[in-house]
């Protein structure tokens, strides 16, 4: 009996000891879900709108002949660099030289007739002074003399024009630059004013875009814009509005606008597809609240956000807040009702939160 009591006492003592150890363990800590927030602020009513356009050289010259004819020589090709005064092309000058020779012959005849009329007038005047010619004969001789002199002046102008026509058979570069396009071939017959070559003359590249009529009144010469190119991903260029159209073009009621890059960019080629971002102000001067799209949730009850109410250092309680939203832009979703400046808006994990849950919040991302 004594041994049994000893064994029971030993077991009871171990049980009391274990119970005492369990009571000395600290209670488990509550696990708080971390959330990130941003402070709600008022922002301006600016809107960014992007329009597609096409790059072009700062100066483009459409080179063409002033006279028509057959291309005899074509001295450039696409991509060639040329200097001012360099010959681009020539047309066959034979027909125009024949016109020059005809004008030279006509001038020789006119001068001969003028000399004859001058001699006749001189003789008639001498006879008139000796009373051997009538007044009518003198007036007729004077008129023929003056007419012959006028004919000489007229034919001289025709000869000058013919010589200019011959010089026009050679097409020269108007400035230093590069050939962007050649539109003709050797032995092709061209007319006066027909495009022969397109000369780009460097300078800051430009981009031309078509702006809808609802925005054109908000664009002014000198406005700063941002330009990106599909062929140059990851690069953004600063430009300024250089020209604003005053009349709509096409059936879509759009206005042509040109923007010029701030500096020359050799990597930008004429014809590249571009996107130009304009910043437009709202009709009123009031400010608005904009939230990141992922900070706004939606369920059967409507759109909502969560805000954090601080309860201590790094700890707070989230509160569900119904909101009314407006337009969505590049900067985020406009909040018309439901948020106030200074509140802490949860920006991540909205779908895993519920109203009244205690959380710990991380430092906000830089705005």
Q: How confident is the model over 135-161, as pLDDT tens digits?
A: 888 889 899 989 989 998 998 898 888
CA-closest candidate to residue 91, choices 21, 161, 196: 196
Q: Residue 27: its pLDDT value, please?
A: 57
Cβ–Cβ under 8 Å, residues 244 and 255: yes
Rounded distance, CA 126 to CA 140, Å? Answer: 14
pLDDT at 366: 43
Rounded distance, CA 106 to CA 146, Å? 17
Distance CA 331, CA 42 (A): 13
Q: How, if at all, do strands 297-299 and 302-312 pair?
A: antiparallel
Residues 59, 203 contacting (CB under 8 angstroms): yes
Distance CA 341, CA 46 (A): 18
* Opening angle at CA 277, ends 217 and 222, nearest 5: 55
Place of tokens 């630059």: 177
At residue 359, the pLDDT reads 84
Task: Please list the ranges in the chain whose pLDDT falls under 70.
Answer: 1-31, 44-46, 58, 202-203, 250-252, 281-286, 329-330, 363-367
Q: How far apart are CA 213 and CA 217, in angstroms?
A: 8
Given this model, what pLDDT does residue 29 score? 58
Coil, strand, or helix at residue 271? coil
pLDDT of the residue at 189: 92
pLDDT of the residue at 320: 92
Residue whose C-alpha is closest to residue 186's, from 78, 75, 64 = 75
Strand partners, 256: 210
- pLDDT value, residue 305: 92
Strands 47-56, 195-200: pairing kind: unpaired
pLDDT at 262: 82
pLDDT of residue 89: 92
Gap between the Cα atoms of 85 and 171, Å rounded: 9
Give the pLDDT score at 323: 92
* Per-residue confidence (pLDDT) for residue 6, from 0 to 100: 45
Task: Give the pLDDT of residue 180.
Answer: 82
pLDDT for the residue numbered 248: 77
Q: Give the single-character DSSP code of 362.
A: P
Q: Which of 240, 236, 204 is nearest to 224 (CA)?
A: 240
Using alpha carbons, select from 122, 158, 159, 154 the residue that is nearest to residue 141: 122
Give the bridge partners for 51, in sequence order. 276
């Amino acid at each position: 009996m004594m041994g049994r009591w000893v064994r029971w006492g030993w077991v009871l003592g171990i049980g009391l000891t274990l119970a005492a150890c369990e009571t000395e363990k600290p209670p488990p800590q509550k696990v708080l879900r971390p959330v990130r927030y941003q402070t709600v602020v008022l922002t301006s009513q600016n809107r960014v709108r992007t329009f597609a356009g096409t790059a072009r050289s700062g100066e483009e010259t459409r080179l063409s002949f002033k006279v028509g004819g057959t291309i005899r020589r074509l001295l450039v090709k696409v991509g060639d660099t040329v200097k001012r005064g360099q010959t681009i092309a020539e047309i066959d000058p034979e027909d125009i030289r024949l016109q020059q020779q005809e004008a030279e012959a006509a001038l020789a005849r006119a001068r001969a007739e003028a000399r004859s009329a001058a001699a006749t007038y001189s003789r008639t005047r001498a006879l008139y002074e000796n009373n051997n010619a009538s007044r009518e004969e003198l007036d007729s001789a004077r008129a023929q003399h003056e007419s012959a002199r006028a004919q000489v002046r007229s034919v001289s102008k025709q000869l000058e024009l013919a010589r200019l026509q011959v010089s026009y058979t050679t097409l020269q570069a108007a400035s230093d630059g590069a050939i962007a396009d050649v539109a003709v071939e050797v032995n092709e017959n061209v007319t006066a004013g027909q495009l022969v070559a397109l000369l780009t003359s460097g300078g800051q590249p430009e981009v031309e875009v078509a702006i809808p009529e609802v925005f054109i009144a908000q664009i002014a010469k000198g406005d700063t814009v941002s330009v990106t190119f599909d062929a140059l991903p990851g690069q953004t260029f600063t430009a300024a509005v250089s020209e604003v159209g005053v009349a709509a073009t096409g059936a879509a009621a759009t206005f042509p606008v040109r923007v010029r890059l701030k500096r020359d960019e050799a990597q930008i080629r004429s014809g590249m597809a571009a996107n130009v971002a304009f910043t437009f102000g709202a009709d009123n001067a009031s400010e608005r609240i904009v939230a990141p799209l992922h900070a706004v949730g939606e369920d059967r009850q409507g759109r909502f956000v969560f805000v954090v109410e601080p309860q201590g250092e790094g700890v707070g309680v989230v509160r569900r807040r119904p909101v009314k939203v407006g337009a969505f832009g590049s900067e985020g979703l406009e909040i018309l009702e439901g948020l106030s400046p200074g509140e802490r808006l949860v920006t991540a994990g909205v779908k895993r939160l519920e109203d009244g849950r205690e959380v710990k919040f991380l430092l906000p991302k830089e705005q």
